[in-house]
Amino acid sequence: MEVSRLSSGQAAVKMPASQVIDLDDSDTEPSIPIALDAKRVGISGVNGIDLPDVEESGDEEDEDSANWDEVESLFEDTLEEMDDQHLTTAGGPEHCTLEEANAFRQQLRTIGPEAFCAKTVEAGTITAKKLLTAFGLRPPHFLEGSPDDAYYGLLSLGISRELSKRIKLPQYNTIDDAVELIKKSRNIIVLTGAGISTSLGIPDFRSKDIGLYSKLEHLGLNDPQEVFDINIFKEDPSIFYQVARDILPSTDRFTPTHAFIALLQAKGKLLTNYSQNIDNIESVAGILPEKLIQCHGSFATASCIDCKYQTEGEKLFDDIRAGKIPMCPMCIERLRRLKVPTAMKRKRSYNSQDKKRRKSGYDAMDGDTSSEDEYDDPKSGVMKPDITFFGEPLPDRFSERLTNHDKDLVDLVIVIGTSLKVAPVSEVVPYLPTHIPQMYISRTPVSHVNFDVDMLGDCDVVVAELCKRAGWDLEHEMIPEEQKVDIRLETGFTSRHIFTVKE
């Protein structure tokens, strides 16, 4: 969405397929502008974060767009989203019911954003604050008590996000629909996240209280995702390696969900498995390299951050489990050949780190550096698993496979065990043709994607039941022979199903 000048009425929302629709093409000033700069939100910052200055004059569209993107990012990171599940019983003077929300969304798409705003907020039939909830945004506490026009900027964000969503295909709703789609499809994209490995004891990242990120306060980071920030790794690799011990692949087992993907492959139905996981369990389950895109890399290989020497990831595992930071054997051998004098040898120091972070540096690990630490010279390199950190580009194969191969072949999309929060993998689903059926399998629903069928519950339970109904034999030691599953339709929904194992 572009930033508009309030006085000119040049508000615009980016529609799907990059179409830009003017929300007010008249010469008069609109009474309810749909897009406005961040300062009109009524605050100078969000939760202590200073919002970027947005120029109120000038004609540089690229700069305006960049500024608005930055504002949008801040809002999305700060605001609390409301899933439709919360709307089923909400209602009242400040929250829409699910029925009301669905009606507003349909009205927006039917008459367009300009007429929609005129018939709702501008006409006084509903407040902007309440209308936010129809588009999945909970009115933030920091605006409590503000005039209603303080919510206009957030409403514009909500409307923009709603218009960018794929429209659900109405013909697919039931579990039988999902089963038939799987049986008849021949080119299935399966997009997986950490939720497919949790039954092996491998933690996911974002689950409240039990996810990996919820357990990292002791590291003194501003954001737990900094554990996987490439710049912080280069400053102090010990922060990552303290966490690596907990997520290190330590099993040759795989889950029923991995087995389900392998079964799709065996039946000639798997187009590509896009995995966000770094545990490499897909390979253990037998997914062929040509069918697997490890979007965020994996522990399968590791490379020196200095000389780029690459080796098998397993060669680092002993050091990682022992609390040591793996050093590059090639760099160490080079130092040996140079016969570095003892006086020149020194331990690494990270004086740029603040005191809080230094407590979680090398001295916080059980060990120190690798067994060759007598050659721990400033010029020697640290080994890093070939995981794609924040700040690093995804493998070229990711975009090449998606754009040049899969997009034109896919006939079904199955998303399993991921909240789709990390870009650019989160953009795979909206990038694909909108007429292709999409289904979602995970413990909790997502609100920013309209899937055709949502199947909520333990991933292993859901895929086992789908295979049973398809007449497929999904043999796995973790699936009880007499397992019986109860499936109920969630109240207020036509295509959201809850799977639970009968006691």
The model's confidence at residue 72, banded by pLDDT at 50, 70 and 90, is very low
Is 114 in a helix, a strand, or coil?
A: helix
Amino acid at 283: S
Q: What is the pLDDT of residue 153?
A: 87
| Residue 192 pLDDT greater than 90, yes or no | yes
| Of the ranges 12-16, 166-170, 351-355, 418-422, the best mean pLDDT one | 166-170
Q: 15 or 250: whose pLDDT is higher?
A: 250
Given this chain, do its domains 175-203+251-296+394-501 and 213-246+297-334+379-387 carry the same CATH topology?
Answer: no
Q: Tell me: the pLDDT tens digits for 29-50?
A: 333 333 333 333 333 333 333 3
State the average pLDDT for the chain.
76
Inter-CA distances, 3 with 29, 64, 344, 396, Å:
16, 6, 56, 33
340, containing H or E segment? none
The answer, yes or no, to whether residue 458 has pLDDT greater than 80, is yes
* Dist. CA 487–CA 311, nearest whole Å: 47
Distance CA(286)–CA(295), nearest Å, equals 17
Q: Decide: residue 42, CB within 10 A, 0-12 exposed, 13-18 middle, 19+ buried.
A: middle
Assigned fold of 213-246+297-334+379-387: SIR2/SIRT2 'Small Domain' (3.30.1600)
As a whole number, mean pLDDT of residues 71-96 equals: 62
Average pLDDT of the residues in 417-426: 84
Burial of 138 (0-12, 13-18, 19+ CB in 10 A): middle
For residue 152, which of 28, 22, 8, 30 has the smallest C-alpha distance?
A: 30
Q: What's the whole-model pTM score?
A: 0.70
Rounded-to-integer distance, Cα 438 and Cα 489, Å? 18
Name the DSSP class of 169.
Answer: P
Domain extents for the chain? 68-164, 175-203+251-296+394-501, 213-246+297-334+379-387
Q: What is the pLDDT of residue 20?
A: 27
Residue 52 has pLDDT above 50, yes or no: no
What would you measure as the largest C-alpha separation in the chain, in angstroms? Answer: 81
Identify which of 54, 46, 61, 56 has the alpha carbon closest to the alpha carbon of residue 12: 61
Task: Categorize the per-residue pLDDT at 393 as very low, low, confident or very high, splitting at 50, 70 and 90.
Answer: confident
Nearest by Cα to 121 from 209, 224, 32: 32
- The yes/no answer on whether domain 175-203+251-296+394-501 falls in CATH 3.40.50.1220 is yes
3-state SS of 316-328?
HHHHHHCCCECEC
> What is the per-residue pLDDT across 488-498, written as a single tens digit (0 to 9) for each?
999 888 999 99
C-beta separation of 319 from 326 below 8 A:
yes
Q: Does the structure show a pLDDT above 90 at 27?
A: no
Highest-scoring range by mean pLDDT, 21-25, 59-63, 224-228: 224-228
3-state DSSP assignment of residue 136: coil
| pLDDT at position 91 | 57
Query: Mean pLDDT lowest for which of 3-7, 79-83, 288-292?
Result: 3-7
The distance of Cα 53 from the centroid of its chain, to the nearest Å, equals 28
Binding-site residues sit at 304, 307, 328, 331
pLDDT digits (tens, 9 = 90+) for 257-308: 999 999 999 999 999 999 998 888 999 999 999 999 998 888 889 999 989 9
Tell me which residue of 159, 148, 156 sits closest to 108, measured CA to CA. Answer: 159
Pick 291 or 345 by higher pLDDT: 291
Mean pLDDT, rounded, for 353-374:
45
Q: Is 296 a catalytic residue?
A: yes
Q: What is the arithmetic mean of pLDDT over 143-159?
A: 89
Which pair of structure tokens corresponds to residue 274?
């896009």
Residue (of 250, 247, 226, 248) closest to 237 by Cα position: 226
Least reliable range by pLDDT among 320-329, 371-380, 445-454 = 371-380
Could you tell me what percent of the chain has a pLDDT over 70?
69
Does the pLDDT value for residue 5 go beyond 80?
Answer: no
3-state class (DSSP) for residue 421: coil
Residue of 95, 141, 218, 296 marked catalytic:
296
Residue 431, beta-bridge partner list: none
Q: 395 pLDDT band (50/70/90 cuts)?
A: confident
Angle at 388 (CA atoms; ends 74, 229), nearest 5 degrees: 50
